[in-house]
Every structure is written in structure tokens, then in C-alpha cells.
Amino acid sequence: MRVVVEVEESGFLPTKPCGKFLQVELSDAFIPAGQDEGFPVAAPLWFVQVLDASNWKSRSGKKEQAQSISRWINELPAKRHKTVHKLFTLKGDTDLQGLMELEAYIRKVCSGFTEGA
């Protein structure tokens, strides 16, 4: 497993990005429900986190807080999987610009896995 895309739709709390990141960082593999075997976690690992900002108030500091958390995660000195954390905040499923940026980033990351393979 080289890329994790986490879509958080239930609201932003600082513990959510940190908790999801930590779960992935401490894992050896992702085992889907109902299967006996999983996908081993490879390094480097890209952890793409998508937050739904459609209900955030315009004067809220949540976007800045989420960006700070992402920056702190990337500055951690010793990450087991050399994880790169990338944060996207979308204003719902009609945020076409945000969705296009997310798609472009995921395509860019994934294209590196097939080159030279």
C-alpha cells in the first residue's frame, strides 16, 4: 500500500487528522473487512486527507488549524513509513476546483509508482 486517501465528512476536530495518521503510521498492513490477507504498507507512504469544509463558518480558524496540523505531521523527524501528509479542504461535493486539484495530486503521486516498473 503506497497511498491512503481519507475522506473526513463528519466534522473537523484536531484529533481526527492526528488519530487517522497515527493509525496508518503504526500499521504494518491494511486488511480489508472479510479478508484474511492484506496489503503491506510501503515506504514512502502518501497519506491524503480530505476534509469537508462546507459547514465551516467564514471566520472560523479551522482551515488554518488543519493546515498547521498537516505541517506538524510532515515535520515529525522519525516516521516509520516516511509518510508524506497532504491535506485538502473541500467545500462539499460541488467544489469542482478543489476536486480537480485533489484528482491531479493523486494522479501525480500514483504515476510515480508505474514509471520504470
User: pLDDT tens digit string along 24-37?
Assistant: 888 888 888 999 88
| Residue 25 phi, psi (nearest 5) | -65, -30
Give the pLDDT of residue 116.
46
Distance CA 42, CA 109 (A): 14
pLDDT digits (tens, 9 = 90+) for 66-106: 888 888 888 887 777 788 888 888 888 889 999 999 999 99
**Which of 84, 95, 3, 85 has the alpha carbon at shortest distance from 52?**
95
Residue 4, φ and ψ in degrees, nearest 5: -120, 125
What's the longest Cα–Cα distance across the chain? 47
pLDDT band at 114 (very low <50, low <70, confident <90, very high): low
- Mean per-residue pLDDT of the chain: 83
Tell me which residue of 108, 60, 87 sits closest to 6, measured CA to CA.
87
